[in-house]
Protein backbone atom coordinates (compact mmCIF):
# COMPACT_ATOMS: atom_id res chain seq x y z
CA UNK A 1 0.00 0.00 0.00
CA UNK A 2 1.40 3.40 -0.91
CA UNK A 3 1.52 6.30 1.49
CA UNK A 4 -0.83 8.10 -0.89
CA UNK A 5 -3.60 5.65 -0.24
CA UNK A 6 -6.83 7.41 0.42
CA UNK A 7 -5.71 10.67 -1.12
CA UNK A 8 -8.56 12.12 -3.12
CA UNK A 9 -7.94 13.90 -6.38
CA UNK A 10 -9.66 17.21 -6.58
CA UNK A 11 -11.59 18.30 -9.66
CA UNK A 12 -12.35 14.75 -10.69
CA UNK A 13 -15.01 13.99 -8.17
CA UNK A 14 -18.60 13.38 -9.00
CA UNK A 15 -21.47 13.33 -6.53
CA UNK A 16 -21.62 9.59 -6.13
CA UNK A 17 -18.10 8.50 -7.03
CA UNK A 18 -14.58 9.74 -6.57
CA UNK A 19 -11.24 9.12 -8.22
CA UNK A 20 -8.78 7.95 -5.66
CA UNK A 21 -5.27 6.53 -5.72
CA UNK A 22 -5.07 2.77 -5.39
CA UNK A 23 -2.35 0.11 -5.71
CA UNK A 24 -2.29 0.26 -9.49
CA UNK A 25 -2.58 4.01 -9.97
CA UNK A 26 -6.02 5.53 -9.83
CA UNK A 27 -9.43 4.00 -9.51
CA UNK A 28 -13.06 5.04 -9.20
CA UNK A 29 -14.57 4.49 -5.76
CA UNK A 30 -18.16 4.63 -4.71
CA UNK A 31 -19.34 7.27 -2.23
CA UNK A 32 -22.62 5.50 -1.61
CA UNK A 33 -24.22 2.11 -2.05
CA UNK A 34 -25.77 1.01 -5.32
CA UNK A 35 -28.13 -1.86 -6.00
CA UNK A 36 -27.59 -4.12 -9.01
CA UNK A 37 -29.08 -2.32 -11.99
CA UNK A 38 -28.65 1.19 -10.58
CA UNK A 39 -27.12 3.80 -12.85
CA UNK A 40 -23.89 5.01 -11.31
CA UNK A 41 -23.40 7.82 -13.77
CA UNK A 42 -23.09 8.87 -17.39
CA UNK A 43 -19.64 8.94 -18.93
CA UNK A 44 -18.84 12.11 -20.78
CA UNK A 45 -15.86 12.79 -22.96
CA UNK A 46 -14.57 13.38 -26.43
CA UNK A 47 -16.59 11.74 -29.21
CA UNK A 48 -14.44 10.34 -32.00
CA UNK A 49 -15.93 9.66 -35.40
CA UNK A 50 -13.41 7.18 -36.71
CA UNK A 51 -14.20 3.47 -37.11
CA UNK A 52 -10.49 2.60 -36.79
CA UNK A 53 -9.86 4.61 -33.62
CA UNK A 54 -8.59 2.80 -30.57
CA UNK A 55 -6.97 3.64 -27.26
CA UNK A 56 -6.66 2.13 -23.80
CA UNK A 57 -9.77 3.88 -22.52
CA UNK A 58 -12.06 4.47 -25.47
CA UNK A 59 -15.45 2.81 -25.56
CA UNK A 60 -17.24 1.99 -28.79
CA UNK A 61 -20.66 3.65 -29.10
CA UNK A 62 -21.45 2.40 -32.59
CA UNK A 63 -19.57 0.99 -35.56
CA UNK A 64 -18.34 4.47 -36.45
CA UNK A 65 -18.26 6.30 -33.12
CA UNK A 66 -16.21 6.01 -29.94
CA UNK A 67 -15.97 8.02 -26.76
CA UNK A 68 -12.75 8.82 -24.97
CA UNK A 69 -14.20 9.12 -21.46
CA UNK A 70 -13.15 11.95 -19.21
CA UNK A 71 -12.91 11.82 -15.42
CA UNK A 72 -14.17 10.20 -13.35
CA UNK A 73 -15.04 7.18 -15.48
CA UNK A 74 -11.79 7.30 -17.44
CA UNK A 75 -10.22 5.87 -14.29
CA UNK A 76 -12.36 2.73 -14.07
CA UNK A 77 -10.10 -0.26 -13.57
CA UNK A 78 -10.54 -3.74 -14.97
CA UNK A 79 -11.70 -6.79 -13.05
CA UNK A 80 -12.58 -10.22 -14.44
CA UNK A 81 -15.53 -10.22 -12.00
CA UNK A 82 -16.74 -6.64 -12.38
CA UNK A 83 -19.37 -4.88 -10.32
CA UNK A 84 -20.23 -2.39 -13.07
CA UNK A 85 -20.74 -2.24 -16.82
CA UNK A 86 -20.99 0.28 -19.60
CA UNK A 87 -24.17 0.43 -21.60
CA UNK A 88 -24.87 2.93 -24.33
CA UNK A 89 -28.35 4.28 -24.61
CA UNK A 90 -29.41 4.17 -28.20
CA UNK A 91 -32.84 5.54 -27.40
CA UNK A 92 -31.89 8.99 -26.18
CA UNK A 93 -29.85 10.24 -29.07
CA UNK A 94 -29.35 13.88 -28.42
CA UNK A 95 -27.20 15.06 -31.30
CA UNK A 96 -27.28 11.47 -32.53
CA UNK A 97 -24.74 10.56 -29.88
CA UNK A 98 -25.86 7.85 -27.48
CA UNK A 99 -25.26 8.39 -23.80
CA UNK A 100 -22.83 5.98 -22.20
CA UNK A 101 -24.13 4.80 -18.86
CA UNK A 102 -22.13 3.16 -16.14
CA UNK A 103 -24.41 0.91 -14.17
CA UNK A 104 -23.99 -1.48 -11.29
CA UNK A 105 -24.24 -5.15 -12.24
CA UNK A 106 -23.86 -6.17 -8.58
CA UNK A 107 -24.62 -4.45 -5.32
CA UNK A 108 -21.83 -1.99 -4.50
CA UNK A 109 -21.13 -0.66 -1.01
CA UNK A 110 -19.92 2.82 -0.17
CA UNK A 111 -16.13 2.94 -0.37
CA UNK A 112 -15.87 -0.01 -2.73
CA UNK A 113 -13.91 0.33 -5.96
CA UNK A 114 -16.06 0.34 -9.09
CA UNK A 115 -14.65 -2.12 -11.61
CA UNK A 116 -15.60 -3.04 -15.14
CA UNK A 117 -14.56 -5.87 -17.43
CA UNK A 118 -12.54 -4.26 -20.24
CA UNK A 119 -13.15 -7.23 -22.55
CA UNK A 120 -10.27 -6.28 -24.81
CA UNK A 121 -9.61 -8.18 -28.01
CA UNK A 122 -6.68 -10.61 -27.84
CA UNK A 123 -4.20 -8.33 -29.59
CA UNK A 124 -4.53 -5.71 -26.83
CA UNK A 125 -4.44 -8.17 -23.95
CA UNK A 126 -2.11 -7.69 -21.02
CA UNK A 127 -1.66 -10.00 -18.00
CA UNK A 128 -4.42 -9.46 -15.45
CA UNK A 129 -3.75 -9.02 -11.77
CA UNK A 130 -7.30 -8.33 -10.65
CA UNK A 131 -7.09 -11.10 -8.06
CA UNK A 132 -10.69 -12.20 -8.47
CA UNK A 133 -11.56 -15.86 -7.94
CA UNK A 134 -12.35 -16.37 -11.61
CA UNK A 135 -9.56 -14.22 -13.03
CA UNK A 136 -8.95 -15.13 -16.69
CA UNK A 137 -5.25 -14.30 -16.29
CA UNK A 138 -5.43 -11.75 -19.08
CA UNK A 139 -7.30 -8.53 -19.62
CA UNK A 140 -9.18 -9.89 -22.60
CA UNK A 141 -12.72 -10.84 -23.52
CA UNK A 142 -13.83 -14.41 -22.87
CA UNK A 143 -14.30 -15.21 -26.54
CA UNK A 144 -10.69 -14.33 -27.41
CA UNK A 145 -8.96 -15.90 -24.42
CA UNK A 146 -8.07 -19.00 -26.44
CA UNK A 147 -6.21 -16.83 -28.94
CA UNK A 148 -3.75 -15.82 -26.24
CA UNK A 149 -3.16 -19.29 -24.91
CA UNK A 150 -1.93 -20.42 -28.33
CA UNK A 151 0.32 -17.43 -28.94
Contact status, residue 98 vs residue 64, Cβ threshold 8 Å: no
3-class DSSP state of 147 = helix
Contact status, residue 75 vs residue 61, Cβ threshold 8 Å: no
Measured from the CB atom, is 15 or 133 closer to Zn ion?
A: 133
User: Which ranges of 1-151 does DSSP label H, i.e. alpha helix?
Assistant: 145-149
Measured from the CB atom, is 37 or 131 closer to Zn ion?
A: 131
- Which of 9, 87, 97, 135: binder of Zn ion (CB under 5 A)? 135
Site string for Zn ion, 23-62 (x = CB under 5 A): ----------------------------------------
What are the DSSP calls for 52-97, one per residue?
T---SS-EESSSS-EEEE-TTGGGPEE-SS-SEEEEEESS--GGG-
Q: Which of positions 78-97 make contact with Zn ion (CB under 5 A)?
A: 80
Q: How far apart are CA 139 and CA 42, in angstroms?
A: 24
Q: How far is the CB of 80 from Zn ion (least distance, A)?
A: 3
Measured from the CB atom, is 71 or 130 closer to Zn ion?
A: 130
145 binds Zn ion per the rule CB under 5 A: no
3-class DSSP state of 45 = strand
Q: How far is the CB of 81 from Zn ion (least distance, A)?
A: 8
Q: At CA 16, angle to CA 107 and CA 28, rounded to 5?
A: 75
Measured from the CB atom, is 63 or 134 closer to Zn ion?
A: 134
- Which of 39, 128, 147, 148: binder of Zn ion (CB under 5 A)? 128
> Interface with Zn ion by CB under 5 A: which residues?
80, 128, 130, 135
Amino acid sequence: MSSNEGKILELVTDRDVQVQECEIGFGVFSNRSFRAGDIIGIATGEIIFDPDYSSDYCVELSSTMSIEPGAPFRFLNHCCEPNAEFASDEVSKRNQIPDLYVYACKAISAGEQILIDYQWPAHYAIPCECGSKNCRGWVVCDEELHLIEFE
